[in-house]
Structure 1
Amino acid sequence: MYPDDGFRELDRQGCVRLLAKSPVGRMVHTRQALPAILPVNFRLDEDGAVLPRTAGGSELVRAVDGVVVASEADEVDAATHSGWNVVVTGRAAVVTGPAEWERLSWAGLRSWAASPREVFVRIEAELVPGRELVGGRTTYGVDLSA
């Protein structure tokens, strides 16, 4: 971040707190050597891992299993020019263990796009940077939001 750019860096605990209240984010992965971004609904696991649930046979699952991906969530208030952004980067893996799958199923997360075979993807929270835009847009004490 740059000094006086209007953003405040968030610590890991602050990032996790914000992610926990966000039901939807974006998963960033590589498709044909180019960045691809897809919306996903997710929840956080107890260890901070991001857990989207999606169609088991999807291109997304084939593309992310075993590779490093990013998951991003944010909240923006256009009226007050404020908000936050958190990115979790880490290795993704399809959850295959029966006990782990059952534990996650009991947590109630369902894919918003129904599929006959759904899977959980675990994204380990290796890097968790976040920032918050605070105070809206002002310059020299003059509110420019009006």
Structure 2
Amino acid sequence: MDDQDTGRPARRVGAATPTRHMRELDRDEALRLLATVSLGRIVFTRHALPAVRPVNHLVDGEDVIIRVHGGGALAALAAPADAPGVVVAYEADAIDPVTHLGWSVVVTGYASPVSDVEDADRYASRLCPWVGHPMTGALRIRPDLVTGFRLEADPAMGCAPC
């Protein structure tokens, strides 16, 4: 018997679920893992509502740098003159679709345009686009809060696909 929504075998009532647990990541490990992937999601405010966009990123020290292209919603982000930037959240993960093991990291902080021309050029050469729009700028997210977790199998129980 298959689950009609997923096409996977239906789980029997009372069937054992693989034992997994979440382990909280410290700031250093979370940023190290974030640097191992190049695609994530930025959460920002647009027209007073939350908006989410998938974007390319790189990690430079503790800063998260993302691509911006002209005409996009991110190009319009502007902070008041007396503010350190616009508050955003950035999330990236690597979770196996079969075992459901992996990690997720969320960075919350202030985003501001990269104004140094040398930095912008260096980032442009390292941020490979995943859409056909040319990069017209970059945003630097300076993290205030870095959280994350790793989904791990219980070593004694192992982990089978769900």
Aligned to 2:152: 134
Specify the SS of the correspondent of 1:89: strand
Moved over 2 A (4+): 63-66, 102-106, 110-117, 141-146
Q: Deviations over 1:39-75 (max 9, x none)?
A: 0011111x22111112033222213653110110011
Specify the SS of the correspondent of 1:13: helix
State yes or no: 1:68 paired with 2:82: no
Q: Do 1:29 and 1:64's aligned partners in 2 also have CA atoms closer than 8 Å? A: no
Aligned to 1:115: 133
Distance 1:35 1:142 in 2: 39
Specify the SS of the correspondent of 1:60: helix
Distance 1:59 1:123 in 2: 16
Listed as ranges, the matches of 1:48-87 within 5 Å are: 48-63=62-77, 66-87=85-106
Aligned to 2:58: 43
Distance 1:16 1:117 in 2: 24
% of aligned pairs identical?
42
The alpha-carbon distance between structure 1 residues 64 and 121, as it changes in their structure 2 partners (threshold 3 A), is same
TM-score by length of 2: 0.74
Aligned to 1:17: 32
The alpha-carbon distance between structure 1 residues 35 and 15, as it changes in their structure 2 partners (threshold 3 A), is same
Q: Deviations over 1:76-122 (max 9, x none)?
A: 1122221211001111011122232233334x213322334521110
Residue type at the aligned position of 2:71: G
State yes or no: 1:34 paired with 2:53: no
Alpha-carbon RMSD across the aligned residues, in angstroms, is 2.6
The alpha-carbon distance between structure 1 residues 101 and 76, as it changes in their structure 2 partners (threshold 3 A), is same
Gaps of at least 5 residues in structure 2 are 1-19, 80-84
Distance 2:26 2:145 in 1: 11
Gaps of at least 5 residues in structure 1 are none
